[in-house]
Amino acid sequence: MIPFNKPPVVGGEEENIRDAIRSNKICGDGKYTKLCSKWIEEHTGTRKALLTTSCTHATEMAALLLDIKEGDEVIMPSFTFVSTADAFVLRGAKAVFVDIRPDTMNIDETLIEDAITDRTRAIVPVHYAGVACEMDTIMDIAKKHDLKVVEDAAQGIMSTYKGRALGTIGDFGCFSFHETKNLSMGEGGALLIRDSKFIENAEIIREKGTNRSKFFRGEIDKYTWVAPGSSYLPSELNAAYLYAQFEKAQKIYDDRMRSWDMYYELLSPLKDEGHIELPVIPKGGCIHNAHMFYIKAKDLEERTKLIKFLKENGIGAVFHYVPLHSAPAGMNCGRFHGQDNYTTRESNRLVRLPLYYGLKDKEIEYVISKVKEFYINK
């Protein structure tokens, strides 16, 4: 059986967790949380990174910091994970869905401006598969219309756009360290903050509405409740796990990239024969992180048969996402602006193949042989 995903384990995780236990501090913001935040700041160049309990929570924090309210509108793709919308809808905003580009599956930047109304507050580009959205255009639109940009970079750690790390280009960036992501802590995430004016409020929101972060730094002699907040800081145990992964981040990246390249090369003949489509990495400054390898079948029927065939042969291949505008909550809390030319059609065709740290060449060759067999016998 070749599963769809295996959480990365690179060595060092158990030692770090034991070290955290021995230090008598397993709640948040201890040694490992600080090391992780510093690593993110150094490796992305962001002004401030706050480790969070998930990417969903990092996005919720961004919505709180932007004071998103009932009646506001937030522009995003419908082809995304529910959290992109949840964070804003929880604050009473309407999700305004815009169609995607069929090449990258990212929001079509040329359609955003038309979706802007006098209620629009923010744009949320999602860097699908760790491949950058067209950020120059998106940032220009945001500037022109005085909107904020929250990058859903859940899948984007170690990817860049024109030399800048994903998550650092918009006002806020949100990473995920869920077990399916390149670097993991089980459940977890990070909020990246570009403008220092938001840092103090972000620390307060993350610490139950208190100024405890300032107190721990010795900047005040007691802490108190200063604003509404929540609890968005992860345990040191999770941070200890993540830090082991950060220390081997390049090894994980190289390993995944090798698998990605191998899939791409060995599946290219099927693409050239017109059976499938392969991921597109736009030229002009998009460096991806091998987060995901997907192929596109002809249509939903062919995809369903392919996933079934792979499953029968012990291969875990999956599809996603059910477009949010067609989901019950999406119908209630959002609307699709313009034509759905690609969102439904392309999401119906997409199949994700197994890709994780430690996937062996032999396993990739087996997956490819089965995909080929499916198309030969079709």
Ligand X SMILES: Cc1ncc(COP(=O)(O)O)c(C=O)c1O
> Which chain residues interact with ligand X by CB under 6 A?
54-56, 80-81, 83-84, 126, 152, 154-155, 176, 178, 189
Residue 104 or 210 with smaller CB distance to ligand X: 104
Q: How far is the CB of 52 from ligand X (least distance, A)?
A: 8
Q: Which is nearer to ligand X, 135 or 270 (CB)?
A: 135
- Minimum distance from CB of 174 to ligand X (Å)? 7
Provide φ and ψ at 269, rounded to 5°.
Answer: -60, -40
Q: In Å, how far are 105, 175, 248, 375 from 192, measured between CA atoms?
A: 24, 8, 21, 44
Distance of closest approach, residue 269 Cβ to ligand X, in angstroms: 30
Neighbouring residues of 62: CB distance < 8 A, sequence distance ≥ 6: 87, 150, 171, 172, 174, 191
CB atoms < 10 A from the CB of 196, how many?
9
* Phi, psi torsion values for 207, nearest 5 degrees: -110, 50
Rounded to whole angstroms, the Cα distance separating 242 from 235 reads 11
Residues in Cβ contact with 71 at an 8 Å cutoff, skipping those fewer than 6 apart:
92, 93, 94, 119
Burial of 375 (0-12, 13-18, 19+ CB in 10 A): middle
Residue placing its CB nearer to ligand X in the complex, 33 or 211? 33
Residue with tokens 């929250």: 150
With residues binned 3-state (H G I as helix, E B as strand, rest as coil), the percentages for the chain, rounded to 5, are 40, 15, 40
Q: What is d(CA 91, CA 318) in angstroms, rounded to the nearest whole number?
A: 31
Cα 167–Cα 183–Cα 8 angle in degrees, nearest 5: 160
Minimum distance of ligand X from residue 309's CB (angstroms): 26
Question: Residues 6 or more apart from 136 whose CB is under 8 A from it?
Answer: 162
Smaller CB separation from ligand X, 56 or 347? 56
Nearer to ligand X, 65 or 371 (CB): 65
CB of 48 to ligand X, least distance (A): 19
Q: Which is nearer to ligand X, 354 or 374 (CB)?
A: 354
Within 10 angstroms of residue 21's Cβ, the number of other Cβ atoms is: 13
d(CA 359, CA 258): 10
* Distance in Å, CB of 221 to ligand X, minimum: 36
Q: Which is nearer to ligand X, 226 or 327 (CB)?
A: 327
Map residue 152 onto helix, strand or coil: strand
Nearer to ligand X, 72 or 152 (CB): 152
Both tokens assigned to 234? 């992860």
> Measured from the CB of residue 368, what is the shortest distance to ligand X in angstroms?
25
From the CB of 175, what's the least distance to ligand X, in Å? Answer: 8
**Shortest CB 238 distance to ligand X, Å:** 12
- At 6, which helix (H) or strand (E)? none
Pick 178 or 275: Cβ nearer ligand X: 178
